[in-house]
Structure formats: C-alpha cells, structure tokens
Amino acid sequence: MSSLDISLRPRHDFPFWLKYDLTLEVKLFRSATHPAKMSTLDTICRMSKKTFARRARHANRPSARPEGPYETEGQGVTSGYPIRDEQIRFVDFVARLYEDAESLLQLSGGQREMRMILYLVTCHFDGIPVTSSSLAAASGLTYGTARRTIDALTQRGSIVRRDKTASGRTQTLHPSDELLKQWRHFAYRGQASMKITINRSEKRRHKPPDPAGVVLPPPAVLKTKLSLGRGLRVLVHADPTFMAMQNLKRQFEMILGTTINSRAHSIDRLRSEIVENSKLEVSKFDIVAVDLPWFGEMASANRLLPLGPLIAESDFDQADIYPDALTSSSWQGMQYGVPIMTSAELLVYREDLLAEKNMQPPKTIKQTLSTARAMHSRKDNIAGIAWNGGRGTPIGHTFLMVMSAFGQPVLNLNQTADGFDAVRVSPENLEPMFHTPAARETVEYLEELLHFSPPEILRMNWYDRALAFAEGRAAMAYSHSLLAPIYELDPASPAHQKTGYAPHPTGPLGRTIVPMGGYSLAIPANIDPDRIGDVWLALQTMTSASSAKLYLTNGSLSSPRVSVSRDPEVSALSPMVSAVDRLAAQGYLRAWPRPSVPGISDVVAVAGEEIHDILRGDKTIKQGLEAAQNRVVSLMHSRGFG
C-alpha cells in the first residue's frame, strides 16, 4: 500500500487561498499480499484537500488562551516569573549578621529593638500576622523586657496595633508606615555600601546615594481592618501586573485585613464579564480592571461608580499618575477609575542582530520594511517582525495603533498642537475614518509586513508576538511593555538584555507616538452601597505608589506613576522602565490612538474582522475599508453614539 508524508508550508506572498506550498514526499511500499488500492495521485488529492482545509480553518481560529499562561479559568493567576524582593534578602542578611555578631563577639544589650524590627519587617513582607507573644519570643529577650521594648516602639510610632477581632481583645502588630520608610532607606544605603565595599574599583571615599524621598517604601497595613463580608472580590486582566498582585495575595490580605478573591480573564472575556455583571441587581465584584479605552462606553452606560466624591473626601494622590492614563480613566470630567498599570506599545528590536548587519533602529515605515526584510530568514527560523495579526481584537488594535503613526486616529477627533483631542468629544467626532488615505496606507503597510512575519502571523495575539520575540523567532516586534517580563526577566531568552525600545515608526505625514494602553481599577455602579467605603480604601491601597513598586519588584514592568518609574530600584530592573518614562516625558506616550469614547469597542471589533479579511485575501482593500466604514457608522447610530 502507499504511505504519504504531506506537509504544508505557509506563504505570505500570495493571496490566502494560495498561501500554502504543497510539499509532497511519496513513499511507495508494495507487497504481493497488500497491493495499493488506489493510485498515488488519488491519494495525494484526497489527503491534500483534507489537510489544506484543516490548516485553513486553523489559520482563522483564535488562540485558546489569548493571554498565554496568565489567563485562568478559575480563581487567581499562576506565577510565571516570581522574583523575591531584594528587601527580604537584605533582612535575611542583617539577621544573620546580628546573630554572628552576638555569638562570636559575645555582644549584649543594644540589640533588642533590631531583632524585633527584623522580625516585624520579615513577617510584613511574607504576610504573616505578628502577636505580642510571637514578637517577644522572636526577640530572645525575657518576656518582661520584651513587653517593655514593644511598648517603647509603639509609643515611638514604629509599631501599629490593629484589632484582630471585632471585640478588640486581641491585636496584631505591624511595622508602621514611618518604620517601613526608615527600613527601606536603611536597606538601600546598606546594599549600596556593600556593593561599594566589594567592588574594589570604587573609590573608598565614595558615599552611597541618599535615598530620602526617592526610594519608595513597601505599603503599610491599614490601621483598621476592612469590614467586607466574603472578602474583597476582584475581576482583573490576565497579565504580569495582576499576576504579581496574585503572587502578593497573602501580603495584601494582611495589609487590608480581609481575604481577596480574584479572577483573571483575557481582554474580550473581561469586557463581557463586566457588562454581564452590570446587569445584575447587585454586583458580584467589588473592583474590576477596566481597559483604558472602555471608560467612555462603560461610564455612559452607567456600569461604573463615579469616584469624584470619594476622591474629594480623601487625600488620594493623583498628581503622580501619567496624565493621559488618568484622563483616559474619566468621562465628561468625572473620574471613574484609578490607573494600576500603564503600558506602552513600542517597537522592540534585537540590538545584537541589528548591529550584526550594521543597521539602526527604524524610525519610519519605509525603514521598518527595509529592516524587517534584512532580518527575515527562513533558513535561520527568524522573522523580520512580529505583531498582532489574529482575527478580532488583536488585529483591530494593531490597525488603530499603526494608523495613528500615519497621523490619523480611527475616529474624527479634533486636531491639537501636539496630536488629537480624545477628551472633549462631540457626536461628529465619533465618525469613523476608514475611508481616509491613512487607513489605506495602514492596510498596505500590513500587507507588506506579511512577507517578513512569522508563519502564524494571522493568528498572533499580544502574548504570541511577545513570545516570538522572546524566543528569538523574531528580530523585531510591535509589543506592549506589559509583556516585557517574558524576555527582560528571563536570562534564557535570546532577547534578554539585548532589547532596544523605540516609538512607533511613522508614516509620511505622521509624528512620533507611543500608543498608551493599560488598565485602571474601578468600582461597579451596582455594588452594595454598604461596601463602598471599605472598597474605596482597598482600591486606593492597591493603586498607591508603594503597591505599584511592589508589583514591579515581583514580576511586572509596567507602572502608572512617575515616582515609581524613577525609583532607582525599579529603574534598575530593566532599561524598558526608564525608556517608557523618558518617552512619556517627551510627550510621546498618548492615549488618543485608542480614545476612551463610546463605541470604540465596536470600532475595534469591526476593524478586527474587515482588516483580517483583507489580509487573508478574501476582500480587496477598497471592499474591506468600505465595509468597515459602513458597519461602524451603522453601529454608532444604532447605539446613539453618532
């Protein structure tokens, strides 16, 4: 009988229906007792048709897990790159140092407070409640001396006592906010001094920098536990920032004084769940993570609680947040969310590969195509560039982002001196702009990119493109900074410490831009009113600068706050952190490419279908863009947005 090995090799330089070369290896094994029942040609035809149909269907199938390992079906997020905070290591170092000093030098006295502080700080980092008895035992002092020392530290404001039960009969002890600040400064100076001492090339008289006002301390516990029956219920996006939050779950449960139940979804599932939750009489979530472009739609549909009155009654610090991120979390002058993660879509590139070919990072669309062509090598299994080509939201986002680099937002926003106005929006500003030259040029550019992209490009999403770059299968990528940890924090990645960051390459009429993405935490409008006060306290704590730094030192690389990005311990984690902060300071980090207006989700969804059809070869550019224009206009009118 006949045995056939048939493989399909993708080709992006032909229309979709011709994008597969058929490579056939025919091996005929004939036996006198089992002659071939059909001709080789018949076998090839039947098998190739079935295989081609299966591959073609697979090319349109979205990824089962759009957010890669970060998405979970149940509660919580599994850890991808756990990073133990340097603060904890320094605690361990100081503890061992003091133990050796006491035993070897036979020291006595003067150590009583340090032992207690070390124990308090360690337990705070590990989310372990401390009682007076456990702290006294850890100090090594007699019980009476230990109690007097605890009282002295409490009176000095170094220890916070918090009621463990409603009766107030038992209490837990925690380091105060002031003690954590002092400890952080001590640890930073100590680590710097050790490095200077060990590195003999440093001059002896060189002093470690003064971290006061620069190095952020860990978040302190709330002085009063939150009173939330069934705990704090959180719905989040599946990405490294929320993964880091989940990894720190026990610590935040201690800080807030309540249990935390979280669920992580991909972007489309997250939006659907928020919408469905808003239809309930009482919300099943206390806090939801909202993609920045959704706020106009969510707020106008009364799905989110206005935070203005809560902000006015609190000392919440807004000045530290990147302006466009804060503005994107509002609608018609009212704040509806607080940024917890700000991401920048950048062009990332392998510095070593470009250097080998003596090439500079591309700044224009034309240069990007030239660079991608030069880097692309099927022989070496490396594509010139990776990007979101998957049907639906992935390629819809790509179209909006790239079109902005051609100098035109997808909606008819008013032009300003430095871009476009996505805040003051009237009905005429919601007109889609698929019929513009910039839209056509964007699609033509994406068609050209197909030649130098990975074989699976029309199925790629955010995680896929970042992973292709991280694994060395792409020399460049359009990639959000929120996924940078998969190569910046993984020494095994070929891109580790070899990645450069640049704004979006521009079209002939475009200007330098870094499209902003990210998420803010919001409170559902249908939340039980009795829970609002405590939930607002939790939201403030989870979005504070100290908490944001904690996420970054535990696996995230995206910050919404200027002070966090400029913290020396944070900026040392990755050059990407400083790169994004520098681009923001230059005014390039902008939210108008995906404006937070009603109907933007419809625009993305339609673009995700029509642009994908064009790239597959099912429609011409003219047909696809006309269809997109008409569909969005119709949807806008039907929903009262246009």
Please give the pLDDT value at position 185.
79
pLDDT digits (tens, 9 = 90+) for 246-265: 888 999 999 999 999 999 99
Predicted confidence band at 176 (pLDDT cuts at 50, 70, 90)?
Answer: very high
**Is pLDDT of 56 > 90?**
no
Residue 4 · residue 41 · CB < 8 Å? no
Please give the pLDDT value at position 464.
94
**Is pLDDT of 55 > 50?**
no
Most confident stretch, 42-46, 185-189, 237-241, 560-564: 560-564
Please give the pLDDT value at position 516.
93
pLDDT digits (tens, 9 = 90+) for 469-523: 999 999 999 999 888 989 998 999 999 999 999 999 999 999 999 999 899 999 9
Please give the pLDDT value at position 85.
55
Residue 52 · residue 20 · CB < 8 Å? yes
Tokens 């504070």, residue? 544
What's the one-letter identity of residue 438? A
**Is pLDDT of 289 > 60?**
yes
Predicted confidence band at 114 (pLDDT cuts at 50, 70, 90)?
Answer: confident
Please give the pLDDT value at position 12.
38
Measured in whole angstroms, the distance separating CA 141 from the mean position of its chain's CA atoms is: 46
Predicted confidence band at 47 (pLDDT cuts at 50, 70, 90)?
Answer: very low
Predicted confidence band at 39 (pLDDT cuts at 50, 70, 90)?
Answer: very low
Q: What is the CA radius of gyration of the chain?
A: 28
Average pLDDT over residues 67-90: 50
Average pLDDT over residues 351-372: 97
Q: What is the average pLDDT value for the chain, to the nearest integer?
A: 83
Please give the pLDDT value at position 66.
57
pLDDT digits (tens, 9 = 90+) for 369-390: 999 999 999 899 999 999 999 9
Please give the pLDDT value at position 88.
64
Neighbours of 316 (CB within 10 A): 16
Residues in Cβ contact with 572 at an 8 Å cutoff, skipping those fewer than 6 apart: none
Please give the pLDDT value at position 220.
93
Please give the pLDDT value at position 189.
73
Please give the pLDDT value at position 257.
94
Token pair in block for residue 409: 């937002």
Lowest mean pLDDT among 218-222, 411-415, 423-427: 423-427
Indicate the burial class of 302 (C-beta count within 10 angstroms; 0-12, 13-18, 19 or more). exposed
**Is pLDDT of 57 > 60?**
no
Give me the percent of the chain exceeding a pLDDT of 70. Answer: 80
Predicted confidence band at 51 (pLDDT cuts at 50, 70, 90)?
Answer: very low
Count of residues making up the chain: 642
Token pair in block for residue 364: 């224009």
**Is pLDDT of 274 > 90?**
yes
Average pLDDT over residues 287-297: 94
Please give the pLDDT value at position 354.
97
**How does DSSP classify residue 35?**
-
Please give the pLDDT value at position 602.
92
Token pair in block for residue 599: 């109907």
Residue 271 · residue 291 · CB < 8 Å? yes
d(CA 221, CA 492): 37
d(CA 510, CA 409): 11
